[in-house]
Amino acid sequence: MPRPRRVVSPSIPLHVIQRGNNRSPCFHLQNDYLIYLDALRECAFDTGCAVHAYVLMSNHVHLLLSPDTTDSVSTMMQRLGQRYVQYFNRRHARTGTLWEGRFRSSPVQDERYFLICQRYIELNPVRANMVDVPADYPWSSHQTNAFGRENALITPHPAYLGLGKAAVLRQAAYRHLFNDALPEELLDEVRKAGNSNRPLGLAPNAMDTGML
């Protein structure tokens, strides 16, 4: 059965997942993560993608971003992929593909799900038993969103800004959201939406019944 068409709408947040080919590692060294984040920042700026959250795991990447146009995300991911793969292959003396085909994506059209998706992304290292708390993982946006660490890559989304009028209040409210783990049913919903390119928060058949 063919994968559902990718749904991209200007200004609608998109949860993007890209995995290493055959689940192989995409990052080996600290410099790999740094090079990827630097390339992501430049490619996102050049293509009109506002990045709200991210996590770089050893063999896959999650991004939460808002595109300016319907082509912004595809253009960004193409440029980012080419730039990083060239670096990675040269640095690690390898050839061939690094990523698993096309990236997957899920529109977050229901604002109630935006912060759920953002928490899902930043909690990845905790669920993988890599750290006890998300703040201990250096390759995610959590330290920026939860503690205000300067990060030129991150653009706050209105849903995040709505947590408080002042930065210190927003950060405290955001940290409070992480006091409890996401329920398994929400985790499953985010995973299924991302793996099937379907909007998060809509019924599975919404794309087929004209609900978009």
pTM: 0.91
Q: Write the class of the CATH domain 14-198.
A: alpha beta
Please say if the pLDDT value at position 44 is more than 90: yes
Instruction: Specify the pLDDT at position 10.
Output: 85
The model's pLDDT over 108-140, given as tens digits with 9 standing for 90+, comes to 988 889 999 999 999 999 999 999 999 999 999
Where along the chain do its domains lie?
14-198
Share of the chain above pLDDT 70, in %: 92
Least confident of 15-24, 46-55, 116-125, 191-200: 191-200
Please say if the pLDDT value at position 205 is more than 70: no
CA-CA distance, 25 to 99, in Å (whole number)?
Answer: 10
Q: Averaged over 184-206, what is the pLDDT?
A: 81
Q: Which two tokens stand for residue 82?
A: 């080419």
Instruction: Specify the pLDDT at position 196.
Output: 86
Please say if the pLDDT value at position 9 is more than 90: no
Question: Phi, psi (5° rounding) for residue 198?
Answer: -105, 155
Instruction: Specify the pLDDT at position 128.
Output: 96
Q: Which two tokens stand for residue 102?
A: 């096309």
The residues near 131 (Cβ < 8 Å, ≥ 6 apart) are 125, 137
